[in-house]
Amino acid sequence: MSTQSTYSVPKMDCPSEERLIRLALDPVQGVDSLRFDLQGRRLTIMHGCRPADVTDALIPLGLGAELLESVEHAGGPEQPVDVAAERRVLRWLLAINAVMFVAELGFGVIAQSTGLIADSLDMLADAGVYGISLYAVGRAAFAQRRSARVSGWLQLGLALFVLAEVGRRAWMGSEPSEGLMMGVAAVALVANLVCVALLARHRGGGVHMRASWIFTTTDALANLGVIGAGVLVAVTGSALPDLVIGALVGLLVLSGAVRILRLR
């Protein structure tokens, strides 16, 4: 007989907080499984230890965790994770994002588009996330933490480079090619939708798979933003929409890097 405890976690709204919680609970003896509802800010824990032991590990995180209920649970063990299937999916995601990084970066330079350059570096950051997720499958929390910090510093450097490039082009001037912008961004959107389809059956898995799902769906929105910027460049004849979307994508990568580096 184990206990099922449900917590309200008001400040849990992204994969970084999910990973932080997993790392905090990893040393707690008796914690069997975690189920996250990021949208509803709810955390359900199956455990054989006292609820107070779990609560004591969550409170120092500063996420506002509050125990809603603890009930005895007589259900059988959860189905084991299909590690081999996760690895296959993550290898495909890594390959797709690496290829799209090279393609978007090359066409971004040719098209003088900060939006495409920023999106290409976002693809590279995602390839890093998938690589780390692939490394994390079946490994202990300390290995995930170490690799995540490497990814965080990489993303931070990329974000600062993108923002510096936006500033340089805003100062020096640029003439983005709206046709190339929209065409390449459309191909990137298709690539991300393929990634979403590959991840669909694994999106409820561990933090590494959940993070991959959220990053990929967010990237599809970034691709739509680049396409929209291309339309505005064509309509207005101004490079400003391209600079704005480039800055926004750069800030998106920067935000992800900061969240990862906050993990302890």
Mean pLDDT for 189-211 is 70
Per residue in 110-134, pLDDT (tens digit) is 988 888 888 888 788 777 766 766 6
Strand 31-37 and strand 66-73: the pairing is: unpaired
Burial per residue of 198-222, b for 16 or more beta-carbon CB atoms within 10 angstroms, e otherwise: bbeebeebbbbbbbbbbbbeebbeb
Report the residue count for the chain.
264
Is a pLDDT exceeding 90 seen at residue 258? no
Say yes or no to pLDDT of 147 above 80: no
The whole-model pTM stands at 0.61
Does residue 97 contact residue 120 with C-beta atoms inside 8 Å? no
Residue whose structure tokens are 């991300």: 192
pLDDT at 263 over 60: no
What count of other Cβ atoms lies within 10 Å of the Cβ of residue 133?
28
Give start and end residues of each alpha helix (H) in the chain: 15-25, 51-58, 83-111, 114-136, 141-172, 178-199, 207-236, 240-261
In the chain the domains, ranked by start, together with CATH numbers, are 2-73 (3.30.70.100), 83-261 (no CATH)
Mean pLDDT in the chain?
A: 79
Per-residue pLDDT band for 82 (boundaries 50, 70, 90) equals low
Helix (H) or strand (E) holding 6: strand 2-8
Are 79 and 33 in contact by the 8 Å Cβ rule? The answer is no
Instruction: Encode pLDDT of 207-239 as tens digits.
Output: 555 556 666 666 777 788 889 999 999 999 898
Res. 33: pLDDT tops 80: yes
In this prediction, residues 165-170 reach a mean pLDDT of 86
- 39 contact partners, CB below 8 Å, separation of at least 6: none
- pLDDT, residue 190, reads 92
